[in-house]
Structure 1
Amino acid sequence: MTTATGVPQAGGGRAWGQVPEELSARVPAEQRGPGRDRDSVRLLVSRGVPVSHHAFVELPGELRAGDLLIVNTSATLAAAVDGWLGHARVVVHFSTRGDDGRWAVELRDPDGRGTTRARAGGPAGTVVRLPGAVPLVLEEPLSARGPRLWWARVPDTDVPGLLRRHGRPIRYSYTERDQPLSVYQTVFALPCADGGGSAEMPSAARPFTARLVAELVSRGVQFAPVTLHTGVASAEAHEPPYPERYEVSAVSARLINAARAGGGRIIAVGTTAVRAVESATGTDGLVRAARGWTGLVVTPERGVRAVDGLLTGLHEPEASHLLMLEAIAGGAAIDRGYAEALRARYLWHEFGDVHLILPEEGPHSEHCVRN
């Protein structure tokens, strides 16, 4: 299937079918019983044909000295704020801050189970009243794809401060209840000096704990931090991602290039880390320092240039992220892994289980495309 923008889209007709509602992770792992921590999730490991089942705390045994994990340091914002459109209550999702001070926002209707009903924005000039009688003025659609996201201006207002005072983390109806912002921060999250961050948590890194990171380092696994501030995902339409702000430092670029030269595997923690590092990688396969906006969509046709493997959550069959997974491992391997995840009743979404995709090894290995 291809979108109107010409970007291939993962379809719903996959061999492994739809995900039953009961497989949605409704609360974080540490709230599912006594003695549990963030790392108390399951880990599905795919190496081409072989698929194996593990606890996430066994991750160090699946990696080896010299491997390098690329991690996203973007902190999650309290990006959902209640507002009023006339006499109607709405919820504003603050997605992305533009270079001109405007914010890309999404309006949604509250339903008591998370802000799950999408609402078309506009027309231009529409004013939403935020807490403290602060006006938010819709100016123009973010893109021609549709009216979901709009550029909006909040005159004379410190938006990061507004989010700290009145915001809460974005959540959807498959979760049980609102959670404190700390639940949505990963161990790698760093506050941004300008108040920026991610509208939604870079959730693949959520199961990591300081204890597990220390064990990985002690075994010779390296880490390279990058930053990509995620926007609001399309919960209904499964659109390809919009442009997002990213940075890959010179230090991280050197670490990645050196690890590859030394025979280590480059494994991204999350699709956001893939998008950031692939945006900074040339056709020669070398990663260079880069920052700015990336509109890159990784597809099987484009392939990957720097990344060998991926640690990620489980995605719905319509999700555009599955194209990235196929670019790394191939469609057949992804379908096998997901069919096994369904059979073994793994949990989906940001509080769910995770999937480690490693390159197939041996004389018949298939290597990812780097063009």
Structure 2
Amino acid sequence: MTAPILFHLPNDRNATAPPERRGIRRDQVGLMVSDRKTGDSQHTRFDRLIDFLNRGDTIVLNASRTIPAVLYGEWRRDQSVLVRRLEVRLAKQLSEQTWEVLPVKKGMRVGDEWIFSSQLKAEVIATDATSPLVTVKFSLEKEAFYEQIYRLGEPIRYEYIKKPWSLDYYQTVFATTPGSVELPSAGRAFSWELLIALRKKGINIVFLTLHTGLSYYLDDSYVMKPERNCEDYEVAEEAIATIAQTKKEGGKVIAVGTTVVRALESVVEESGQLQAQKGRTCVKIDAHTKLAVVDGLITGFHEPEASHLDLLNAFTGSKQLSKMYKEALTHQYLWHEFGDIHLLM
């Protein structure tokens, strides 16, 4: 059994503002480069990533776009108003009109309604006593639904972010397809200038899409098991062809974010071949997982006991990972979506 990674994260290690509002470019955040086998690390800046990759390597990015997933609506039951302004967080889309959502108050019942605007309403259609999430059916779908949430909603903001930042700060420069309720944050540090420089060196850049679900449920006692935290993804044939050619020629495949690892390891057939796919992945990746596609990982720094740390154990041993995180704290790297970046390879 893998030993857990235990450490204390001081409050001053939380990145509370985007780097652009701290006086630096997004690609000038810190970069810690760690050897997967030894746990030894080097310390530099993210715009020097190019120094650690070789011609023929492939970087895989998640092109999912962050949506404003926090809505406020009137909570009604049997025509009676229970709460005038209830915060509801989108967690995961199940179909065109149905979502799992997280209300900030408990006690929801099937049949309860939320009124977000004259056009957008939602009805609770299922609850689960073992989960803080409830399933709702919205009154709108597709473009009409997104038009409303972009008009009414806000990006999810956790307690370490003291000031609300606009949705633009929660996007990567290459994001295209809306669907993530939280920023796929590992890709945030990339600038177009860095991407162009990487291409000029002969490093391949490919994209896939995996829409990230909610990671925190406002209840420390509840942890969503990875196998239940299913997420929608799409990996196109063009990306598969480039990745397969990279592996054939001995290059490294570098996943940008745990979301990309999850998507890529979901498209491996039993024969070991990669297959372009679109679907929903519930794959669990941890120390017991033999990675078939990914050779390296660009990621942020994760909180103590976070499930993402289990995934990192697929890349390196717990002893090495503990060493890396101790060094990250010593060098005062910043955590979370606006923080610094960690490259394991």
TM-score relative to the length of structure 1: 0.84
Determine the C-alpha separation between the residues in 2 that align with 1:211 and 1:65: 17
Aligned to 2:29: 41
Residue aligned with 1:233, SS: coil
Pair 1:74–1:59, CA change in 2 (3 A): same
Which residue identity is paired with 1:206?
A: R
Which residue identity is paired with 2:98?
A: R
Determine the C-alpha separation between the residues in 2 that align with 1:100 and 1:347: 37
Which residue identity is paired with 1:179?
A: W
Provide the alpha-carbon RMSD of the alignment.
Answer: 1.9
1:200 aligns with 2:182: yes
Structure 2: gaps spanning 5 or more residues: 76-81
Determine the C-alpha separation between the residues in 2 that align with 1:56 and 1:100: 38
The counterpart of 2:247, out of the listed 245, 260, 277, is 260
Check whether the contact 1:121–1:147 (CA below 8 A) recurs between aligned residues.
no
1:347 aligns with 2:334: yes
Q: In the TM superposition, what are the counterparts of 1:1-371 in structure 2 within 5 Å? A: 11=4, 14-15=5-6, 17-33=7-23, 36-47=24-35, 48-49=37-38, 50-85=40-75, 86-99=82-95, 101-108=97-104, 119-120=105-106, 122-132=108-118, 134-141=120-127, 146-156=130-140, 158-190=144-176, 192=177, 196-234=178-216, 236=220, 237-241=222-226, 242-358=229-345
Pair 1:68–1:156, CA change in 2 (3 A): closer
Deviation at 1:247, TM superposition (A): 0.5
Pair 1:100–1:209, CA change in 2 (3 A): closer
User: Runs of at least 4 residues of structure 1 off by over 6 A?
Assistant: none
Determine the C-alpha separation between the residues in 2 that align with 1:239 and 1:232: 9
Residue aligned with 1:82, SS: strand
Q: Deviations over 1:188-216 (max 9, x none)?
A: 201x3xxx410001000000000000111
Determine the C-alpha separation between the residues in 2 that align with 1:154 and 1:348: 35
Which residue identity is paired with 2:181?
A: A
Determine the C-alpha separation between the residues in 2 that align with 1:130 and 1:289: 38
Q: Deviations over 1:209-243 (max 9, x none)?
A: 00000111111111121100111112534433411
- Paired residues in the alignment total 330
Check whether the contact 1:121–1:148 (CA below 8 A) recurs between aligned residues.
no
TM-score relative to the length of structure 2: 0.90
Structure 1: gaps spanning 5 or more residues: 2-7, 109-118, 359-371
Determine the C-alpha separation between the residues in 1 that align with 2:136 and 2:175: 27
Check whether the contact 2:120–2:148 (CA below 8 A) recurs between aligned residues.
no
Which residue identity is paired with 1:220?
A: G
Pair 1:266–1:121, CA change in 2 (3 A): farther
Q: Deviations over 1:304-355 (max 9, x none)?
A: 1111110000101211111111011222221111111111111000000010
Check whether the contact 2:173–2:190 (CA below 8 A) recurs between aligned residues.
yes
Q: Share of identical aligned residues, percent?
A: 35
Determine the C-alpha separation between the residues in 1 that align with 2:246 and 2:83: 57
Which residue identity is paired with 2:139?
A: P
Determine the C-alpha separation between the residues in 1 that align with 2:239 and 2:288: 27
Pair 1:294–1:60, CA change in 2 (3 A): same
Determine the C-alpha separation between the residues in 1 that align with 2:327 and 2:18: 22
Residue aligned with 1:43, SS: strand
Check whether the contact 1:121–1:150 (CA below 8 A) recurs between aligned residues.
no
